[in-house]
Amino acid sequence: MHVTILLYENMTALDAIGPYEALSHVPGHEVVFVAKQAGPVTVDTGFLQLTATKALSEVERTDVLIIPGGGGSRALMQDEEVLSWVRRIHGGTRYTTSVCTGSLVLAAAGLLEGLEATSHWAYRHLLADYGATPIGERVVFQGKIVTAAGVSAGIDMALTLLARLANEEVAKAVQLAIEYDPQPPFDAGSPEKAGEALVALVRSLE
Amino acid sequence: MHVTILLYENMTALDAIGPYEALSHVPGHEVVFVAKQAGPVTVDTGFLQLTATKALSEVERTDVLIIPGGGGSRALMQDEEVLSWVRRIHGGTRYTTSVCTGSLVLAAAGLLEGLEATSHWAYRHLLADYGATPIGERVVFQGKIVTAAGVSAGIDMALTLLARLANEEVAKAVQLAIEYDPQPPFDAGSPEKAGEALVALVRSLE
């Protein structure tokens, strides 16, 4: 299984590293990090660099494409080099996936027209501008296109995907290996649970 | 708030990136990735490099120290340069923390003697060799030392810590911003939930 994760400036690191961790430890899986140019990419906080080992031009085909989100996705949505690469790679994938606002890149590439999709809760409504129907679910499968909600949802997406790529036993083994038995200290992970005051606070910082 | 995350060869990426994502978006927080030498560090799968911006010798003090885990922690446990740095930095922290087998590095540095601590479920028993009492909980606070269970537990640890470093409102806002409303597709994230067959399978691959 060949998994390709797109890296770009001002992306959100966990969007990529969550799915990477769930998909990379399976025997026979190969994960490649790709960016416009090979080399280090600085994430949205400015505190961290992730290294792309290949340039877009070096990746012609993959089984699973993962587009993470983050503030830099806005620039990607206008970047015809990236969008045409996404369209081309999508033609040969088993699954084309996104985490967080990565779904807006798929949308801008024209891949979500007429489909249901999700994204980070604060940006999900923008999917409608591209002919998609925004859905408030954590992971949305539409044929071979899979979109996940914000940031941490990529872990749930990847484990769900892994059960389809391999089988449930493999997905459960990975869940156990990464000890994914989440126990959030608060129940504030969605706008509905967090309430209006916290939603307004987070929107003011985005 | 100054947060320092130790990087090293053959570490597990999500152990570092989970807490990083939870702690790095708070206004006034600065996160520094540090390694024996500044520069790229290759993680345990070989598929990814994370970049350390500083060498150990360049970091004298931090408010929060985070030691991630992974196969490379075994070498760290024998590395007196790293262990003495950990001891020295611990002297000035508000919190000294670990994720996964990072707790074995704290143990090897002599910091867990007489304390309760946790680690990845498959390695937790080794803490006893260093005078610590292994505890099967996701996050264990002992004064200013905080240990988390395997890999994904670093997210829960960091949000719990953030509530103490700042307050609950800030921690909840970050939880909402990273949309941490986990919905694992299976209930297999701990040995007790996964059952003996999956535990044996994962042990055979470790």
**pLDDT tens per residue, range B108-130:** 999 999 999 999 999 999 999 99
Do B121 and A14 lie within an 8 Å CB cutoff?
Answer: no
Confirm if A137 and A149 have CB atoms less than 8 A apart.
yes
Kindly state the tokens that stand for A83: 């969008």
Work out the average pLDDT over B134-144: 98
Q: Is A100 designated active site?
A: yes
What's the pLDDT band for A205 if we cut at 50, 70, 90? confident
Confirm if B103 and B112 have CB atoms less than 8 A apart.
yes
**pLDDT tens, position by position, B40-57:** 999 999 999 999 999 999
12-31 in chain A: CB under 8 A from chain B:
12-14, 17-18, 20-21, 24-25, 27, 30-31
- Chain A: give the shortest CA distance to residue B115, in Å: 22
- The CA distance from A97 to A106, in Å, is 8
What is the percentage of chain B residues whose pLDDT exceeds 90? 98
Which residues have a Cβ under 8 Å from the Cβ of B90 and sit 6 or more positions away?
B65, B96, B109, B111
Do B138 and A181 lie within an 8 Å CB cutoff?
Answer: yes
For residue A8, pLDDT beyond 90 = yes
For residue A138, pLDDT beyond 90 = yes
Contacts B185 to A, Cβ<8 Å: 156, 159-160, 163, 171
Nearest to A12 by CA among A117, A132, A98, A131: A98
Query: Long-range contacts: B130-134, Cβ < 8 Å, 24+?
Result: B130/B104, B131/B107, B132/B103, B132/B107
- Chain A: give the shortest CA distance to residue B127, in Å: 18
Residues of B that are catalytic: 100
Kindly state the tokens that stand for A121: 């809760």
For residue B206, pLDDT beyond 80 = no
For residue A90, pLDDT beyond 80 = yes
Report the mean per-residue pLDDT for chain A.
Answer: 97
Measured between CA atoms, the residue of chain B closest to residue A163 is B185
Q: Does A118 contact B at CB distance below 8 Å? A: no
Contacts A17 to B, Cβ<8 Å: 13-14, 17-18, 48
**Where do we find the tokens 């408030």?**
A136
122-141 in chain A: CB under 8 A from chain B:
138-139
How many Cβ pairs within 8 Å bridge chains A and B?
230
Work out the average pLDDT over A152-180: 97
Work out the average pLDDT over B189-206: 92
Work out the average pLDDT over A39-54: 97
Work out the average pLDDT over B23-31: 94
**Under DSSP, is residue A194 helix (H, G, I), strand (E, B) or coil?**
helix
Contacts A198 to B, Cβ<8 Å: 169, 172-173, 176
- The CA distance from A137 to A125, in Å, is 13
Q: Please tell me the total number of residues recorded for chain A in this structure.
A: 206
Whether the full predicted model's pTM is greater than 0.95, yes or no, is yes
Contacts B180 to A, Cβ<8 Å: 151-152, 182, 184, 189
Is ipTM > 0.85 here?
Answer: yes
57-96 in chain A: CB under 8 A from chain B:
none
For residue B140, pLDDT beyond 80 = yes
Q: How are strands ordered across the β-sheet holding A30-35?
A: A54-55, A30-35, A2-6, A64-67, A95-99, A145-148, A139-142
Work out the average pLDDT over A106-131: 98
What is the percentage of chain B residues whose pLDDT exceeds 70? 100
